[in-house]
């Protein structure tokens, strides 16, 4: 068989192209005007948040650091969030401390990025911090308001760069829809212990930005007047996904052995405990909240989320 019979990507073992495809690429991905440290940028924001930059292809690999061109008159900092695209919550972040003059400043990540695209946005920008952009094409800016549910195109180029120590040469990305490829994830415990819940006030005891699911929630209300009237609420992407009240669960016959929603402890004005064995999926935010209309309560909530990384 001649080489013409093979697909374009085929090369004999040990050939130059085969060797190139096995070596990592150490590179910088960027789209700005090439500004150097100490030079004033064409334009800049002050304390601006929820503006981001989208790299659409070729981003899988080992990220060493993320850079932004910035300055600060004090000792404040920025936090940059990262996700595969603007519709997902953050998978990781870096904190960056600017200098008092314009300079490229980096936050070290040293993590494997398993996705073909990369969206980076300014999540927090503290008082006095400036960061740069320009209005030249090709545009790659996006903007949103908190908590970033909807992003709109912005005709700017944020001055944000990514340094790779091991960018891949172009393999199949993990997109979340390719069969047989597991999505990298991590699991952890999040909890709020003995929170003093005011009367007639819904409070988010656990809230975080991420993309994943939570399949187990524990909620406990200490013995107090009207403790059994407390609501436990689960919000996914700021939408109410489930609401349970202890008195209603008891009236419907829930017990310690009830599947999905169990009631290990219940008493009027007494200790009440709720277990949720249900999978709550979210793309941006998960919030576990408590509410009691007539009286203050002492509430403990624990959640066990699994999030993309």
Strand order in the sheet with 231-236: 203-209, 285-291, 231-236, 239-245
Q: Are residues 47 and 112 in the same domain?
A: yes
Answer whether residue 12 shows pLDDT above 80. no
Binned at pLDDT 50, 70 and 90, residue 76 comes out as confident
Q: Are residues 134 and 218 in the same domain?
A: no
Q: What is the DSSP letter of 268?
A: T
Record the tokens describing residue 133, joined without a space.
């952009």
Give the integer Cα–Cα distance in Å for 40 and 134: 11
Q: What is the pTM of this model?
A: 0.67
**Which contacts of 18-23 are long-range, i.e. CB under 8 A and separated by 24 or more positions?**
20/169, 21/169, 23/169
Q: Are residues 31 and 161 in the same domain?
A: yes
Answer whether residue 56 shows pLDDT above 70. yes
Could you tell me if 142 and 153 are in contact, meaning their C-beta atoms sit under 8 angstroms apart? yes
Q: Are residues 156 and 50 in the same domain?
A: yes
Binned at pLDDT 50, 70 and 90, residue 171 comes out as low
Domain that residue 133 falls in: 3-167
Alpha carbon 149 to its chain centroid, in Å, reads 12
Give the integer Cα–Cα distance in Å for 169 and 27: 11
Q: Are residues 242 and 295 in the same domain?
A: yes
Mean of pLDDT values over 54-59: 93
Q: Are residues 16 and 115 in the same domain?
A: yes
On average, the pLDDT of the chain sits at 88
């Amino acid at each position: 068989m001649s080489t013409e019979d093979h697909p374009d990507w085929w090369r004999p073992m040990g050939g130059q192209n085969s060797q190139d495809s096995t070596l990592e690429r150490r590179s910088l991905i960027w789209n700005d005007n090439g500004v150097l440290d100490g030079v004033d940028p064409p334009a800049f924001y002050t304390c601006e948040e929820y503006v981001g930059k989208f790299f659409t292809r070729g981003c899988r690999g080992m990220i060493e650091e993320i850079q932004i061109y910035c300055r600060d008159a004090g000792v404040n900092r920025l936090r940059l969030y990262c996700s595969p695209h603007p519709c997902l919550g953050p998978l990781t972040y870096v904190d960056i401390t600017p200098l008092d003059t314009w300079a490229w400043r980096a936050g070290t990540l040293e993590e494997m990025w398993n996705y073909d695209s990369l969206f980076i946005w300014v999540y927090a920008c503290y008082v006095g911090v400036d960061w740069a952009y320009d209005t030249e094409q090709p545009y790659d800016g996006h903007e949103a308001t908190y908590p970033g549910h909807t992003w709109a195109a912005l005709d700017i180029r944020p001055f944000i760069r990514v340094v790779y120590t091991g960018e891949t040469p172009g393999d199949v990305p993990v997109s979340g829809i390719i069969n047989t490829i597991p999505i990298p994830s991590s699991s952890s415990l999040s909890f709020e212990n003995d929170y003093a819940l005011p009367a007639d006030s819904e409070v988010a005891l656990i809230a975080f930005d991420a993309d994943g699911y939570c399949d187990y929630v524990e909620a406990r209300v200490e013995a107090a007047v009207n403790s059994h009237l407390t609501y436990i609420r689960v919000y996914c992407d700021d939408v109410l996904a489930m609401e349970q009240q202890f008195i209603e669960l008891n009236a419907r016959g829930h017990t310690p052995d009830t599947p999905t929603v169990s009631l290990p402890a219940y008493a009027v004005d007494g200790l009440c405990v709720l277990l949720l064995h249900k999978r709550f999926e979210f793309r941006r935010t998960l919030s576990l909240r408590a509410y009691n209309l007539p009286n203050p309560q002492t509430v403990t909530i624990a959640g066990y989320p699994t999030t993309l990384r």
